[in-house]
Amino acid sequence: MPIEIQGLESIQKKLKTLDDALSPSKMRSTLLTVGNMVKNTISESFKNERSPFGEKWKPLKIISYQLGYSIGKGKNTHTKRGVQTKGFQRYTANKRILVESTHLWRKWVVSTDEDSVEVSNNTARTSKGYIYGLAQHYGTKNIQARPFLPIDEHENLEPRLLKTIDDYLGDKIGNLLK
């Protein structure tokens, strides 16, 4: 006894729609959106002076300004008996952490191909040879870590960002199959 299945045309049409959505040009568009979500999360870290996981960045130290701040013509005007002077406090009051030149904050680039997305920063190495962004994110012997990348120490994506990306992709696929 032969069995005839009805309604396969609808399923075939949905599979064709899904296959078309996976074409290289459409995948690039989707991956670009995901890359921009990561880039925006990094930008929020700089705006809020917090890691993507919500940890407040360490405040700036006096040493951060010793080259850029001078009122006293050669004498130390940053501290008095180990306490920051009022003049130094006024000077640092409006200074934002890690945004002196804005290179690290604003030079993020999103690039894609058919099956991957890369979010990178082309801020150069410093005169001391270390890569500026990595030194700021992870810290060094003399630099406080101020994490801005949305990954933890095990290279897991920050959970809220992961959920946002997952929701975006789920909605995109769901809309294609309607």
Determine the pLDDT at residue 102.
64
In the numeric block, the tokens 């101020």 are attached to 146
Whether 46 is covered by a domain: the verdict is: yes
Clarify whether residues 101 and 113 are in a common domain.
Answer: yes
Chosen domain end from 40, 74, 94 = 94
Clarify whether residues 150 and 77 are in a common domain.
Answer: no
Clarify whether residues 107 and 90 are in a common domain.
Answer: no
Clarify whether residues 109 and 83 are in a common domain.
Answer: no
Mean pLDDT computed over 126-139: 72
Whether 107 is covered by a domain: the verdict is: yes
For the chain, how many structural domains are there in total? 2
Clarify whether residues 75 and 147 are in a common domain.
Answer: no
Mean pLDDT computed over 86-115: 74
Clarify whether residues 155 and 114 are in a common domain.
Answer: yes
29 versus 123: which is more confidently predicted?
29
Give yes or no for residue 132 having a pLDDT over 50: yes
Whether 28 is covered by a domain: the verdict is: yes
Full-model pTM: 0.74
Clarify whether residues 48 and 134 are in a common domain.
Answer: yes
Contact 102, 49 (CB under 8 A): no
Q: Which of 53-62, 119-128, 135-144 has the lowest mean pLDDT?
A: 119-128
Whether 4 is covered by a domain: the verdict is: no
Determine how β-strand 108-112 pairs with β-strand 83-84.
unpaired
Determine the pLDDT at residue 64.
52
Clarify whether residues 111 and 88 are in a common domain.
Answer: no
Whether 146 is covered by a domain: the verdict is: yes
Clarify whether residues 17 and 79 are in a common domain.
Answer: no
pLDDT band for 70, please (50, 70, 90 cuts): very low
Clarify whether residues 155 and 105 are in a common domain.
Answer: yes
Clarify whether residues 116 and 137 are in a common domain.
Answer: yes
* Range(s) of the domain holding residue 78: 61-94
Give yes or no for residue 41 having a pLDDT over 90: yes
- CA proximity to 40, closest of 143, 161, 162: 161
Distance between CA 119 and CA 49 in Å, rounded?
A: 20
Clarify whether residues 79 and 162 are in a common domain.
Answer: no
Determine the pLDDT at residue 124.
60
112 versus 25: which is more confidently predicted?
112
